[in-house]
Each structure stands twice: as structure tokens, then as C-alpha cells.
Amino acid sequence: MTGTLVLAGTPIGEIADAPPRLATELAAADVIAAEDTRRLRRLTQALQVQPSGRIVSYFEGNEAARTPELADALAGGARVLLVTDAGMPSVSDPGYRLVAAAVERDIKVTAVPGPSAVLTALAVSGLPVDRFCFEGFLPRKGGERRSRLREVEGERRTLVYFEAPHRLDDTLVAMAEIFGADRRAAVCRELTKTYEEVKRGPLGDLVPWAAEGVRGEITIVVEGAPESGPQELDAEELVRRVRVREEAGERRKEAIAAVAADAGLPKREVFDAVVAAKNAEKDAGKNAAKSAEKGSAGTAATDPTAGPAKDPAKN
């Protein structure tokens, strides 16, 4: 008989927000896999719980290696409790690999719902919450960060991001550049903690505030793109948008379909623009090669050090 994998949400700040079932699961689990065992000890002490099961670390550095071990324990009938430092496991935290391994073995997976920085930030942002996208952490490198943002510049749903405090300034600058300085946003800092702060306003206004330095755990909520009629985009812009999506890993067919949908255009029109750009690049390459050949031949003909041309018939 197989065991059960339990994903347990933990407080994102205020310890009193811990779900009541968390203490019960911590006491009863055969194995507790924790992102940080020291934080787990502080959590159990605060909840006045004495775990009876084995405690192991399960973090980004050992997640891949430890997943088979935990999956075997589950297959053997163990009740494995997975907790991360704050919030829900698997959501920008360790957990996905273990869930996937359990599902593959047909092992039961359940959860102890708990606090979520994503939903909390959405709720207090003052922005539309009926439809939203969670984008997690953006890439650290500036170019990759901008490419990721360009993928969703036309997204009409509210966007939610996690960000490190030392990168907040650069991220808001990139967002203002790509989404527009007037796009509304909310930066939520230290949610449910002593120094909780929610800074709301247009992205352009949030940039100078962030430049002064911000500390703590950050969640950014950004208003979706405004609804409008079909965008009038020239062929060059259509091709650029397709290439951005291709660079992000989309196949050309899907990229063309997505760009056409965003712009309110027939797929054929975007396809034709991409083909025309590809042909233009080929023609430019051929012309450049011919120019180089002509230049080389002209140099040989006029080079005084080359000597007289030989008649092949006399060889």
C-alpha cells in the first residue's frame, strides 16, 4: 500500500496565519522534507509541535538527487510532508519534481492550504483580480529579463512577479520601458510582517522610489494591457515579435499564431511578413558575397605585384 505526499503551506510572515492542520501533519508525518531544516525547527517550536518522523533537507541544491529517495519512501507506504520556507511548495519553491514523481507512480498527492504571497498581493493591490498570470521570478540578466517581459507586453490579465530586492529597481525600469510608464502596478513588500508595505502607482512613479533602496521579500503586481482594437503594426514589428517568441523557445508556427492573435490580424499576413524578411536577409547575404567576390577580383587585376596574366592555352 503506497503512502501519501502532503504539500503544506507555511506562513509567509505572521506565524498565527499557519493553517490549523499544519501542526497535526508536522506531528504525524513519517518524513518531513524541509527547504531549510533550521527554519523548520523555529516553526515547530512556535507551533509547539514535536515531530516524530525523520527530517531531511529538500532544497534547490539537492532536489533532483533527493527526489528518488522520497519517492521510494512514498512507494513504501510513508506519509511524506513537504514544507518550504514560506508559502506553498512547488510555487517558485521546491516541490514540482517530487509531485511529478509521485503522480508517475500513482501515489496520492494532497495539500494543506496555507498563506500565499501571490494571492495576498493580488488581493491588496487594488488591481483587477478576476483574471491573472503568475510569472514567478524574472531572469537575472537584463537582456533575458526584457525578452521575457516582451512576451507578455500585450497580456490583458493582471501579472504577478516575485523579485529580489536588489533587482527591483532594474526590473521596474524594464517594465516601465516595455509595458509603458503609465501602466499601474503595486509593489508588495514584507507581506503580513512587521514592516509590511504596499506601494501603488504607475510604473514610472515607482522607479524613483525603488532606486532609493528597498528591503525584504518582494511581490510585484502589474495591471494587464488595456483592451483596444487591432493594433496597426508594420511588417518589421510583426517579424520582431515573432523572433522574440522564437528566442523564448516557441516554434515558429505557434509564434506566428500568437502574434497574429495579439495584433488582431490573419495568420497569413504575419506569415508573409516573416517569409519576406527571411528572403530579404538571403538576398542581402548573396549581394554581399557577390560584392566581396568582385572586390577581390578587381584587386587582383589591378595589383601591380601580381605579375602579367598567364594564357591558359600556353600551359
Q: Return the C-alpha cell found at 289.
A: 558575397
Specify whether the CB–CB gap between 202 and 241 falls below 8 A.
no
- Strand-pairing partners, residue 111, are 7
Contacts of residue 229, defined as CB under 8 A and 6 or more positions apart, other chains included, come to: 264
Specify whether the CB–CB gap between 265 and 237 falls below 8 A.
no
Looking at residue 268, its pLDDT comes to: 92
**Residue by residue, what is the 3-state secondary structure of 38-85?**
HHHHHHHHHHCCCCCCEEEECCCCCHHHHHHHHHHHHHCCCEEEEECC
Q: Is 34 helix (H, G, I), strand (E, B) or coil?
A: strand
Return d(Cα 191, Cα 216) in angstroms, integer: 9
Contacts of residue 162, defined as CB under 8 A and 6 or more positions apart, other chains included, come to: 92, 117, 136, 137, 218, 219, 220
Q: Which burial class, exposed, middle or buried, applies to 156 when counting CB atoms under 10 A from its CB (0-12, 13-18, 19+)?
A: middle
Full-model pTM? 0.70
Q: Degrees (nearest 5) of the Cα angle 92, 163, 227?
A: 95
pLDDT one digit per residue (tens) for the chain, 315 residues: 899 999 999 999 999 999 999 999 999 999 999 999 999 999 999 999 999 999 999 999 999 999 999 999 999 999 999 999 999 999 888 999 999 999 999 999 999 999 999 999 999 999 999 999 999 999 999 999 999 999 999 999 999 999 999 999 999 999 999 999 999 999 999 999 999 999 999 999 999 999 999 999 999 999 999 876 555 788 998 999 899 888 878 899 999 998 888 788 889 999 999 999 999 888 887 777 777 777 666 555 555 545 554 444 444
Length of the chain: 315
CA-CA-CA-CA torsion sign (48, 51, 55, 59): negative
Pairing relationship of beta strands 4-8 and 79-83 according to DSSP bridges: parallel
Q: Return the C-alpha cell found at 237.
A: 514589428
Pairing relationship of beta strands 79-83 and 31-34 according to DSSP bridges: parallel
